[in-house]
Amino acid sequence: MAMELTISRAAITADLDDIAACSESPPPGVTRVVYGEADLRARAYLRGRCRELGLQLREDALGNLFARWPGAEPALPAVASGSHIDAIPSSGRYDGTVGVVGALEALSALRRAGHQPRRSLELLLFTAEEPTRFGIGCLGSRALAGVLGPDQLRALRDPAGRSLDELRAAAGFAGPFDAVRLDPGHYAAFVELHIEQGPVLEAEGLPIGVVRAIAAPATMRLRLAGQGGHAGAVLMLERRDALLAGAEIALAVEHAALATGSPNTVATTGIFQIEPGAVNAIPSAATLEIDVRDVAAEPRDHALAAIRAATEAICGRRHVSHQLELLNADPPATCDPAVVEAIVTVCDGLGLPRQIMVSRAYHDSLFMARLCPTAMIFIPCRGGVSHRPDEYADPDHICQGVAVLAHTLARLSA
């Protein structure tokens, strides 16, 4: 490498510790729901750190944060990096946050080394990558890419019935929704650093993964309406049990994923709620939310069709009515070959073994790929565990990932 960089392990650790302390649940778990008190504290901390570095700050109407280091030719499209800091209930301190803290340290390291970017460099903090509050993931990046328009944003509600518009205003974010969308080509490139959230790198003993494709996610919401009644008074042959119909459908979801012939197809019934929820009452209603994904659209869509067909058959046989809603079915993303090659070249120059791989989890990069050339850098996480309090990434691996990110940003901004 032509440029010597020093990555501060102490700064990374301190930032991770301080952001993890912004939580609605006690340690070791981390809970930061978008626009909640802990989320706002973490955002304030990050803004302060960006100001310490002398970055120029801007926030849009959703709270997406842009922290810019102007380049020698500021009129050129910038090169960006970043991720999210919202966290599902009782999760870990690394998912998303490593990409934000890592981008901050990458910019710090480049400044310490005297790097003078031609293109501006920008750190992005995306609002609500997790679907916890509004039931849809990557809210901020979807809006930036124009996948969610103003009318769709205004229609979003949290489980308590509060609108996105109301909640973002209470959090201090204002402005028209139609100003959130960025034009294609707004950025020259986007690179996201992230823990793998899988076991491959650890199993192979590799410090770096270079992502070539990001899985195509789809989410379905299914509402079932049967007929309630007393658990002792209604005979078995007369029942229209919504739970039992839902249980069969949940098994059909598993079968649909296994039947595509693709090892990358996965399907999960992550929410299963019943009413009235009493031990001596036949379930009269059930709500299921189903996640189906693959790195290719065809097998994912095959599984979706199989789930629809199974739902029709099961509900018909059990005399249970249903309402099946497809919340999203996003296309997969292929990472930009030139950005992938830049990351590979950096790894080889640093002497870091790497593996070209796919991301089976989806990220804000899935939507940034609609705006500009995009790729991802993965680092190992212990046991492939994520979204749990015991989520862990070794500080050495984080520092190696940040070094790769920093050198990649330097190449892309030259």
Per DSSP, the three-state class of 273 is strand
Indicate if the pLDDT at residue 169 is higher than 60: yes
Beta carbons within 10 angstroms of residue 10's beta carbon: 8
| The two three-digit tokens of residue 250, written as one number | 């949940």
pLDDT tens, position by position, 108-156:
999 999 999 999 999 999 999 999 999 899 999 999 999 999 999 999 9
Structure tokens at 54: 């002398």
Helix H or strand E encompassing 121: strand 121-126
Q: In whole angstroms, what is the distance from residue 95 CA to residue 130 CA?
A: 10
Say whether pTM exceeds 0.75: yes
Structural domains in the chain, CATH included, are 9-215+332-413 (3.40.630.10), 218-329 (3.30.70.360)
What does the alpha-carbon distance between residue 268 and residue 56 come to, in Å, rounded to a whole number? 42
Residue 216 has pLDDT above 90, yes or no: no
Amino acid at 137: G
Return phi, psi of residue 324, to 5°: -110, 125
Question: Per residue in 178-203, pLDDT tens?
Answer: 999 999 999 999 999 999 999 999 99
Burial per residue of 207-242, b for 16 or more beta-carbon CB atoms within 10 angstroms, e otherwise:
bbbbbbbbbbbbbbebbbbbbbbeeeebeeeebbbb
Identity (one letter) of the amino acid at 196?
E
Q: Is the peptide bond before 207 cis (omega within 30 degrees of 0)?
A: no
pLDDT confidence of residue 364: 98
Phi, psi of 139 (to 5 degrees): -60, -50
How is 181-240 classified by DSSP, letter by letter? PPPTTSEEEEEEEEE-SSSHHHHHT-SEEEEEEE-EEEEEEEEEE-B-EETTTS-GGG-B
Alpha-carbon distance of 347 to 350, in angstroms, equals 5
Question: Alpha-carbon torsion 35, 36, 42, 45, what sign?
Answer: positive
pLDDT in tens, 53-63: 999 999 999 99
Are 214 and 335 within 8 A, CB to CB?
yes
Chain segment 311-349, per-residue pLDDT in tens:
999 999 999 999 999 998 999 999 999 999 999 999 999
> Would you say residue 2 has pLDDT above 80?
no
Calculate ∠ Cα 320-325-331, nearest 5°.
Answer: 140
- pLDDT of 270-316, one tens digit each? 999 999 999 999 999 999 999 999 999 999 999 999 999 999 999 99
State the Cα–Cα distance between residues 125 and 129, nearest whole angstrom.
Answer: 10
- Between CA 62 and CA 175 the distance in angstroms is 8
Measuring CA to CA, which residue among 25, 51, 27 is closest to residue 39?
A: 25
The 10s digit of each residue's pLDDT in 353-408 is 999 999 999 899 999 999 999 999 999 999 999 999 999 999 999 999 999 999 99
pLDDT score of 1: 47
Q: How deeply is 371 buried, as exposed, middle or buried, from its count of CB atoms within 10 A (0-12, 13-18, 19+)? A: buried
**What does the pLDDT look like over 231-266, one tens digit per residue?**
999 999 999 999 999 999 999 999 999 999 999 999
Phi, psi of 65 (to 5 degrees): -105, 135
